[in-house]
């Protein structure tokens, strides 16, 4: 363990203070971090404001987007300033403190993000595969309970692992070193449970992807009577933003863990290529996911585009006017003369069917796709059965 700490201290000094490696791109790194901070925080706050301001955005699935935006804001607002301070710090004795604070924030926020991804995948599963049960299963109360559970799990095991490491520290200074493989300390156990939770969440998300695409493909092939590729299904268009944000988060986290683990457990001096790889992977982990989440997963939705147009006072896109001629109105005296000796029951049925107003147009979910409710299905079934019955023929007597 002492050898790992010595190797980590030497490599961290090279990573941030070696002139040939870090001084040249330091300004570029700072500009990139500041721009990423502004974009992530600005988009997250705008997302929360739109959901709070617009009544038609106050739905359970958008509350999950707000929860993800809160995690992104906390993540970048805490970690990016710490990374900038670490870049410009002249006192190398504070490096371990900066590293420990970063882990104290990164562990719970990352676990909360992946828990939110799991809740979003469940919401999409009910929307596509079980539309009749969507409104009963996906409610505001259940979303709040799921969010509270994921946050409690992330805070307890994420913060707890770092606090236990701090309590078990016997030296004069805090040592930010990785837990050795197979360690049985309390901090290592807490961290292992947190990492297992993240892995399980990712596995469940991909299983839900498989179930959704399989069911949606089967239904669409049955309705359209043709064999379709995966990218041609409607479910793919609905779930593509979610797949994108999850893939970006998993890739950035996995690459960063592999690179940093190889960097920190190295006892000898690290090569320049390894140091640059670690720097790039860490920058991508700190910035890319938090910028992609609101832009790709939220602002591409039609409802949010409409809210943005209304916010910036841009006119909404109106549908083209219907230029078809109005229906010809029959005069009452002609109707009485024509139908006096005809089927009165048929006329009554036709009049009721033509005078029935059209059903109200409701705004669809996920860009026009609407999950039908059980009441709508029952009403439609009754209407079809009513029109399917043959009319009663009553011959009028002269």
Task: Give the domain ranges of the chain.
Answer: 2-311
Helices (H) then strands (E): counts for the chain: 14, 0
Whether the Cβ atoms of residue 106 and residue 75 lie closer than 8 Å to each other: yes
Which residues of the chain have a pLDDT value below 70? 1-24, 91-93, 169-182, 223-232, 264-270, 314-398
- pLDDT at residue number 320: 53
Rounded distance between C-alpha atoms, residue 51 and residue 43, angstroms: 12
Whether the Cβ atoms of residue 66 and residue 317 lie closer than 8 Å to each other: no
- pLDDT at residue number 384: 46
CA torsion 12-15-17-18 (nearest 10°) is 120
Rounded distance between C-alpha atoms, residue 393 and residue 386, angstroms: 16
Q: Please, what is the end-to-end C-alpha distance for the chain in angstroms?
A: 110
- pLDDT at residue number 217: 74
Whether the Cβ atoms of residue 44 and residue 102 lie closer than 8 Å to each other: no
What 3-state class would DSSP assign to 158? Answer: helix
Tens of pLDDT, residues 288-322: 999 999 998 888 888 898 999 888 886 655 545 45
Q: What is the pTM of this model?
A: 0.74
Taking Cα atoms as reference points, which of 83, 105, 244, 87 lies closest to residue 162? Answer: 105
Look-up: residue for tokens 């949606």? 216
Rounded distance between C-alpha atoms, residue 255 and residue 15, angstroms: 17
- pLDDT at residue number 199: 94
Look-up: residue for tokens 């007597």? 397
**Domain spanning 2-311, CATH architecture:** Up-down Bundle (1.20)
- pLDDT at residue number 17: 55
Q: What is the DSSP letter of 361?
A: P
Share of the chain above pLDDT 90, in %: 30
The token pair that represents 351 in the structure block: 């009049």
């Amino acid at each position: 363990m002492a050898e790992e700490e010595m190797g980590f201290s030497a490599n961290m000094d090279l990573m941030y203070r070696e002139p040939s490696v870090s001084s040249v791109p330091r300004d570029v790194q700072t500009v990139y971090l500041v721009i990423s901070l502004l974009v992530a925080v600005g988009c997250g706050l705008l997302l929360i404001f739109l959901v709070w301001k617009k009544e038609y955005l106050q739905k359970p699935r958008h509350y999950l987007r707000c929860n993800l935006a809160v995690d992104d804001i906390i993540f970048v607002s805490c970690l990016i300033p710490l990374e900038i301070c670490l870049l410009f710090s002249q006192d190398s004795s504070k490096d371990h403190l900066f590293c420990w604070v970063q882990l104290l924030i990164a562990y719970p926020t990352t676990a909360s993000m992946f828990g939110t991804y799991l809740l979003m995948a469940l919401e999409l599963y009910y929307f596509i595969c079980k539309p009749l049960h969507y409104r009963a299963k996906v409610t505001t109360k259940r979303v709040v309970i799921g969010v509270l559970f994921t946050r409690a799990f992330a805070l307890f095991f994420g913060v707890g692992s770092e606090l236990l490491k701090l309590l078990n520290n016997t030296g004069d200074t805090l040592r930010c070193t990785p837990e050795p493989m197979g360690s049985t300390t309390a901090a290592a156990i807490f961290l292992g449970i947190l990492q297992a939770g993240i892995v399980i969440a990712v596995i469940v998300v991909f299983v839900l992807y498989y179930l959704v695409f399989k069911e949606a493909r089967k239904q669409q092939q049955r309705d359209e009577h043709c064999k379709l590729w995966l990218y041609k299904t409607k479910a793919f268009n609905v779930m593509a933003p979610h797949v994108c944000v999850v893939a970006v988060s998993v890739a950035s986290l996995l690459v960063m863990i592999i690179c940093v683990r190889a960097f920190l457990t190295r006892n000898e001096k690290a090569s320049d290529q390894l140091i640059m790889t670690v720097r790039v992977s860490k920058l991508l982990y700190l910035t890319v996911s938090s910028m992609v989440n609101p832009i790709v997963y939220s602002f591409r939705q039609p409802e949010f585009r409409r809210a943005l147009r209304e916010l910036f006072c841009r006119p909404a896109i109106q549908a083209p006017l219907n230029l078809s001629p109005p229906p010809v109105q029959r005069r009452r005296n002609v109707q009485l003369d024509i139908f006096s000796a005809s089927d009165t029951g048929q006329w009554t049925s036709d009049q009721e069917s033509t005078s029935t107003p059209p059903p109200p147009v409701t705004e669809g979910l996920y860009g026009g796709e609407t999950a039908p409710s059980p009441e709508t299905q029952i009403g439609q079934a009754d209407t079809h059965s009513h029109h399917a019955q043959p009319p009663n023929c009553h011959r009028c007597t002269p």
